Amino acid sequence: MQSIAKPTRTGKIAGAAIFGALAWFLAVPPIFKIPFPPLIYLTFDFAEIPVMFSFLVFGPAAGIISSLVLWGTLNFVGSTGTFGATMKFIAVASSAIGLWIGITLYSKITSRMGLKGALSAGFAFAMIARVAIMTVANYVALLIIAPDFLGFAVDLLAKAGIVNASSPVSGLVAILLITGIYNVIHTFLSLIPSFFLSTIPSASVAFRNMGKPWIIRIQAKQQNS
């Protein structure tokens, strides 16, 4: 069986922290944010790419560490405070968990694990997990944690001619549906660049002590088993 170089424990932790800090840097400046109309408080950013890259290169634990670093830094230096930082963490963590579930299940089901198949399965589960968990999180946030914000969001949809401002129930349903679409798009924007960056041969050269990326190692392990 061919030996696959693994990153050291110190390398994993350092890499996770570095990419978590990079994620924070990309999350804060308004120049890196693209509003999603009509719910303009939803924005696309590049912060999740370093987190997902950390996951695919160093492993699931590193991805969660990077997510926690992003959450912690956004709590202290960010425009959305603890609430926004926590919602961001839930979105990123749910994507990472779904990614891990998809790749793990694929490796268990198939006798010969292909990289494209593993990444496709991971992507599908990441998208499903993110949309499902964020739908619940937004439902709780709008009805329990920040009910006043529901009126603001419904007003945005009413101004766009999507719902009637006097119908908060239909407004809530529309908000959840539109937010779901937003999360599907954000999954594409976060994972596709991460997949590409983590699997190019030069990735190992750029980080000399990291060994082979996690996604490459588990593929090789499955094929050699």
- Phi first, then psi: give them for residue 34, nearest 5 degrees: -120, 115
* Tokens 């425009």, located at residue: 79
What pLDDT does residue 12 have?
Answer: 77
Average model confidence (pLDDT) across the chain: 85
Which whole number is the average pLDDT over 139-159? 92
SS3 category, 2: coil
Which whole number is the average pLDDT over 125-151? 95
What pLDDT does residue 221 have?
Answer: 63
SS3 category, 56: helix
**C-alpha distances out from residue 79 to 20, 92, 150, 182, Å:** 17, 18, 19, 20
Which whole number is the average pLDDT over 155-172? 88
Instruction: From 54, 128, 126, select the one nearest 95 (Cα to Cα).
Output: 126
Which whole number is the average pLDDT over 118-142? 95
Instruction: From 93, 90, 73, select the one nearest 81 (Cα to Cα).
Output: 73
What pLDDT does residue 214 have?
Answer: 76
Which whole number is the average pLDDT over 173-193? 95
SS3 category, 107: helix
What pLDDT does residue 26 have?
Answer: 87
Alpha carbon of residue 9 to chain centroid:
23
Please check the confidence at residue 196 and state whether its pLDDT lies above 90: no
Between CA 51 and CA 38 the distance in angstroms is 27
What pLDDT does residue 3 have?
Answer: 46
Question: Higher confidence at residue 219 or residue 102?
Answer: 102
CATH class of residue range 9-31+47-224: mainly alpha
